[in-house]
Structure 1
């Protein structure tokens, strides 16, 4: 995979950017997290990077696939069943009472994979958790807590509506603001912070930079949009979990490639200025593994739903990955299915309010196909195919930009 040559063993890679100073070392040390330079100084990362990524995915998959049936039994015993929207497809009424809040298992799996792989990585002196990885996981966890509160209200009041729209937006925006503020702190050895105030496609677009307030507003937009997009997509058995595993798999490839061609390893054409690409690959792998483990129980006919606990958290994870890997615009392609789902809802509202007719028989548009007599499993599998195609196109665009930059 490597294109960019590594510096000789023992080289002082912290000086790859002339005029920079490792000003972030004290801050990062205070956090107890390691910057990318920690990995670079070892001079020995070859197969270990893949080993840690595979460990992360494997641990997350194992934890999720074993914890989910435990939650199914506990939630079923306590009557924590999903309420179904009255105006939804009639066939969905049979799903009433299916245990929900399975996103707790996904979250546990992701954290277990991330932390477990780092603990085992101590055996070969792998770097510890990075600022970027921890911030992305904290953002996802905060949004998962918003979803958990929403799910809890639904269960307690036995209805399909939990938090008010204002309450949900307040929670999402609050998490996004904290993330935005922290993501511009904790510079690494070469001065890179987890996020940049530039708009990004495959890397930062230097001609488009945001001021502080605009940057925070932009991060809020991304977080709210992605978390709601995944939330809306989670309307059929396994649709969100399966599609998300494909998107996250693409992010494993992207962030690993960024690590192998990091400007900190060897500045040159096509190199990437991303603070912690390897740790972002570990996060992506853990999340992908957790989604696959959950899908085992969530596939049609679902034994459990992820609920807003899972969908809001996963949406926040994608938003965080796109920001910290400098792929904010590319993420729209990688997650095109989720984008299409939320756009179908927005278009339905706009068209109905302006023409008093419906563009789709029901939105989000996966229900449109159900009402056109597509079996639910056919809709799910075909949408998975579309999600896979979107991820493949995104990877092609990513690699094409790299080749062009050489």
Structure 2
């Protein structure tokens, strides 16, 4: 528990203090966000807002994680694990893809950076490397960070994907979650606040997995996750790094996380879902991001098949803006949806534990 608190406090302090430094540097260098011309007209006033603020989030996450293990080492606790480093490595790799995308946007002063194929190549390469490494590093009981089984709240032992199937699933999850968070990052504070709630839920999930680990006591309902405590440290660092950034990113935003932060945070969700054996549970906990990307897919399918649009603009947070909701109203209500999704995921997680152990609610 001490390591989780240290990770949270250090990540918050680094993120909230580094972000204004980035604002000053990027403002002085005139590193400002281009705005898409087909978006809501109210967003044109944001043109020139400093971007690539995701650098502060990634730095806060790493500093929080490493600080927790420095403190833990002094207390005789275990050091960094394969699972924690792989998840942070995946987030950083996708953050690098996003950084390149942001850099191209800024250097060419356009709203499009990397080509779609270029971004896909970066995402899939990061996913394949992560997937291959996730099946290495056997720990106690022969557990690896990743599993070839399909997972809801825990592995379904009767369904095995095999190596190729696991790598394909990893590619799908990484691409889906990174793009979902990227699409959600369209309003001041929306993605950062929602990520804070989602990762906060996963702090509880992974810590519960640690306290009920089969490595500690093999009883009905225990969890076969390789490094749940380290994953909880990663989640705590990620959640508070987002909160620290949100201090400056809340409307009116003084800085935008850009693809650097959005792709990195999406990779964080994908990596957490795989290493905690909760790929399908993550769909419930991160339901807001799922709804955002589905709104884009539905809009595309409907327009191509019927030449009509379901939403005034996709992703659907823009739809509500165009119906007259103020941007801050959309953001706060979507935060509430993210909170409901996180709570629903936690209830499902705990309910599965009760059903597995045969316990009853107190």
Q: TM-score, normalised on structure 2? A: 0.98
Please state whether the residue corresponding to 1:63 is helix, strand or coil. helix
Aligned to 1:23: none
Cα distance in structure 2, aligned partners of 1:384 and 1:211:
38
Task: Spell out the pairing of 1:302-317 with structure 2 (5 A cutoff).
Answer: 302-317=253-268
Cα distance in structure 2, aligned partners of 1:133 and 1:123:
19
Task: Spell out the pairing of 1:199-214 with structure 2 (5 A cutoff).
Answer: 199-214=150-165
**How many Å apart are 1:377 and its aligned residue?**
0.3
Q: Does 1:110 align with 2:49?
A: no
Q: Does 1:126 align with 2:98?
A: no
Cα distance in structure 1, aligned partners of 2:140 and 2:319:
51
Aligned to 2:360: none
Q: Deviations over 1:354-397 (max 9, x none)?
A: 00000100000000000000000000000000000000000000
Aligned to 1:321: 272
Task: Spell out the pairing of 1:17-36 with structure 2 (5 A cutoff).
Answer: none
Q: Deviations over 1:86-116 (max 9, x none)?
A: 0000000000000000000000000000001
Task: Spell out the pairing of 1:5-404 with structure 2 (5 A cutoff).
Answer: 50-404=1-355
Q: Deviations over 1:310-339 (max 9, x none)?
A: 000000000000000000000000000000
Cα distance in structure 2, aligned partners of 1:122 and 1:180:
29
Q: Is the 8 Å Cα contact of residues 284 and 341 (structure 2) preserved in structure 1? A: yes
Cα distance in structure 1, aligned partners of 2:286 and 2:5:
23
Cα distance in structure 2, aligned partners of 1:312 and 1:211:
27
Structure 1 residues not aligned, in runs of 5+: 1-49
Please state whether the residue corresponding to 2:187 is helix, strand or coil. coil
Q: Is the 8 Å Cα contact of residues 192 and 242 (structure 2) preserved in structure 1? A: yes
Please state whether the residue corresponding to 1:87 is helix, strand or coil. coil
Cα distance in structure 2, aligned partners of 1:208 and 1:72:
49
Q: CA RMSD in A?
A: 0.4
**How many Å apart are 1:206 and its aligned residue?**
1.1
Q: Deviations over 1:166-209 (max 9, x none)?
A: 00000000000000000000000210000000010000011211
Aligned to 1:14: none
Please state whether the residue corresponding to 1:206 is helix, strand or coil. strand
Cα distance in structure 2, aligned partners of 1:400 and 1:75:
47
Cα distance in structure 1, aligned partners of 2:166 and 2:2:
36
Structure 2 residues not aligned, in runs of 5+: 358-362
Provide runs of 4+ in structure 1 moved above 4 Å. Answer: none
Aligned to 1:43: none
Cα distance in structure 2, aligned partners of 1:196 and 1:211:
9
Cα distance in structure 2, aligned partners of 1:385 and 1:208:
35
Q: Is the 8 Å Cα contact of residues 140 and 215 (structure 2) preserved in structure 1? A: no
Q: TM-score, normalised on structure 1? A: 0.88
Please state whether the residue corresponding to 2:142 is helix, strand or coil. coil
Aligned residue pairs, count:
357
Cα distance in structure 2, aligned partners of 1:358 and 1:207:
42
**How many Å apart are 1:301 and its aligned residue?**
0.3
**How many Å apart are 1:123 and its aligned residue?**
2.1
Please state whether the residue corresponding to 1:207 is helix, strand or coil. strand
Aligned to 1:19: none
Q: Is the 8 Å Cα contact of residues 182 and 266 (structure 2) preserved in structure 1? A: yes
